[in-house]
Structure 1
Amino acid sequence: MGSEFYQQQQQSNKQANHFPPATLRNIAVWLEDEITLNKLPITFSAGTRYTNYKNDNDKHGNNQDSEWTSRAAQSVLAQQIGWNSLPLMPRVIEPQH
């Protein structure tokens, strides 16, 4: 679980004199978890994140956007297993010379 917040003030200067003064704000929270199987080195991970962005400007109005994003993954730690030891997996038989 985590969160982040940042805010900044936008001011115009000599190099960027067409940018009006504005306040930019970003807020995000996320939650993630993972489960590893007991007998096999397989891990399932899932997470979700909510992000909200807001731009306040007196001259040109406000702009706001928010989004939910979610992801899931599966990983196998191949160094700890022998491919022939996995249940329900086909065995590779090498020819004998």
Structure 2
Amino acid sequence: MRDVQQCRDLSEVRQHIDRIDREIVATLAERGYYVHQAAGFKRNEQEVKAPQRVKQVIERVRTMAEEQQGDPGVVEQVYRAMIAAFIEAEMHTHRNNHG
């Protein structure tokens, strides 16, 4: 985990959260770009849904959360929501690409 600073007040906490949110949004945009590319390589909707891949990702990020002293349950919930949203976007792209 990064060096987390002890904040003096709520305003400082929020400044750090806002900075982190900017980083998260940038990273999500980058991830979305690759998801969009992935849709072009998949032959059918089952490959887009890829339940085994989802399982692998969830297991991997839970482990990463533990290594970073994070809450694996929170990370899993966030990733499940994110993955569901990306699958929906990828399905749309896949349908547009493959009729």
TM interval, short-chain normalised: under 0.3
Q: TM-score, normalised by structure 1?
A: 0.27
Greater per-residue helix proportion: 2
- Larger CA Rg, structure 1 vs 2: 1
Q: Structure 2 length normalisation: TM-score?
A: 0.27
Greater RCO structure (CA 8 Å; 6+ sep): 2
